[in-house]
Amino acid sequence: MNMFIKSTLIVLTAMTSNFSLANNISPDFLLNEIDISYKKYVNSSPEVGIYAMESVIRLQESDRSSELLHKTGPASLALSYLRLGLLYEKLDFTKKADNVFYKAVNSYKSQVTDSENVSLIELKKFVVGLDASIAANKKTNKAR
């Protein structure tokens, strides 16, 4: 019984320290993680991309301070959800994709605008266009 209590205390201490660390994310760290996850989303298999997007979403959800929102932009979490949903769609995980798309729309509404209705189709078009634009800019910069 004594060993069980010690084990429980160790687990609780580890969880508490992880939560406190998550609430002290620096904007530069988060931007770097977003960049890494985006590269995995674009260049890796859908499974690796899903893992990367899920990781960065956990980070974004753990700290929504005004400093981070200012640095990453208010739609960053919604875009991460959308990209995760697109990866789920590629793998025909329709139920998971629908769940994540719902979170994307709600996140966008709560962070960007609460008075304007935005549709999933509009957000999908936006993120696909944004990704195409980023890819085109990278090709242009490599050609120079």
Note the pLDDT of residue 11.
47
| Token reading at 48 | 């690796």
Question: Shortest CA distance to 40 belongs to which of 28, 51, 27?
Answer: 51
3-state secondary structure 69-135: HHHHCCCHHHHHHHHHHHHHHHCCCHHHHHHHHHHHHHHHHHHCCCCCCCCHHHHHHHHHHHHHHHH
> 27 with 44: CB under 8 angstroms?
no
Mean pLDDT of 26-50: 91
Note the pLDDT of residue 41.
93
pTM: 0.75
Question: Shortest CA distance to 85 belongs to which of 103, 97, 102?
Answer: 97
Asked whether residue 86 carries a pLDDT value surpassing 50, the answer given is yes
Vertex 62 angle, CA 53 and 99, to 5°: 50
CATH architecture for the domain at 2-143:
Alpha Horseshoe (1.25)
> 49 with 40: CB under 8 angstroms?
yes
Asked whether residue 10 carries a pLDDT value surpassing 90, the answer given is no
Mean pLDDT of 74-100: 94
Note the pLDDT of residue 111.
67
